[in-house]
Structure 1
């Protein structure tokens, strides 16, 4: 198996790959000790069975530039095929500010083609490629060199089997006319904002029980400082302080280092130096924010007047649609989607695009009392009222 360690060798391989309709891509990375993923290996394969069609690219090699790969990623004549692409794409977006185009995610396609919720790569390899994946190197330090033959074989299998998986799924999507469905799903993965965490928005991920504006202002400033600090120093945000410590700090409002020392949840390293200064400033800034500029909690979910009977009927309707169409129900509509529809909301993802055709149109008619549900054998059917 070939391992590419020079820019010239990568350029030569990418030039060959550009002559084919698609290239399969995967990465190995570490993120336990950093904010951003540390890219350790890139696996590539284009159609064919010979050893020269699949390679490992070692981005840790001295002097190797990934620019030839990024040129290939920009080539719209070549489909870039990933499985569960979200984290892989984030790496390339952070490093080069690009998203491979056009993009195909075999996990999403498999859900559309009836392989169930969050179809795993091993399952697809077994069912489509009729092969087994060696799991022995799954938990390994990909930053250590040299890589063992077992590591290389494991990594390469992530793109060699993916060729058969892609070709099978692409045929199925074309045959059923559902290729447009997958294209709709790629919109989120193709959006740059998917891969960017803005420090001023980081507070929205924090779970709190207190919804007062002043309290949330402190939470926002503490989350903003933590995110900026972690990004600047490339360390995990939880290494700065964890969510439970952040919530505690917002409640206790420490005014000095002595107050920080009384925190039950704050790590020792955060009670001094730059982090301590940042915490105290964030708490002070949060308390000083005028009422009209304080963040407002999203209470839309709490205010939903969900009719439980309608929600239960929608769940039955969804199960019937999922079985009939052979599409994972979770991809069609989430539990929160169903509750929102049952509460009368209409700006729901399950009511637009291909989901509207598969489920949404009938869901709306069911809510209006225009259709009813009945059981026929092992299937769920709708009947006009």
Structure 2
């Protein structure tokens, strides 16, 4: 078997690491991006999470400008329209386009059933106005956040006739306006509660995960004891302790703190498990050798490594607080009038007769469901995006 002379062999080109590692502009942009930018890119691909986040942003915008969004003041009463049903919005009247409007309301009293009967009066066409300013109808003026007087409304009725798009309650108060004002309390309570829970979870879970040993055992046993109690009965028992004589502001703060005190164990466990895995990493040991104190090591070096996971977990915890407040207020153990929340509004629907005769009193449950689902979808998307290298 013949062999070719050695000069026929061509030696391969020497390995150049700089050429081998050359990246395209897209690859370089991806690999050089910060963690938050990677999370944002991943989150944008989760359409349901983006839609949910946009919806929640709109809801919190409504919370800020509730007085302008609601057609009437919170306690504005229409004594001639008790338990009025929702009015239907029309665009055409006898084939002619008139824009959004509602027909007038014809009220009669049924003496046999002792019940008010409401019918459309098609002879009255009352246009729905947008971006209106002025006090040209009862219940228009308000104090914005209790700071200054205002009269601007995003949607408002005709000056000649009232408008009840979601009906009225037993005192003739507009349900749409009360649901808008109730969002301010229910959604704010969730944010304040998760802030307190976030602080407790990071502090207690961080100490347990960083030090371990006896400290970790004490924290873990405490968490297990707290988690062993049924949530709703425990909340009911604790909220019943709050004095009835307390003003609404203190009741609000008390319910918020109670919800936060029962929610922090889950977040603390997540923080503890992450710190146990990261405290032996080189960057943590280097910080310790350079003389950094435990608080600085935890907050400056360890927490940023999994902060996106914590934010996702906190997002999933907010619905629990909203549902907790709604359940307590529905049972009469949470917030009480004159404070108005979605749970307080649903408290009136406990009477089965009201539910049968006036089903629109259950409408406050719709925003509760929508907000809870939106937080769940957003939390799932954030949890997915928190590890942008996973896919």
TM bracket, shorter-chain basis:
under 0.3
- State which structure, 1 or 2, has the greater radius of gyration over its C-alpha atoms: 2
TM-score by length of 2: 0.24
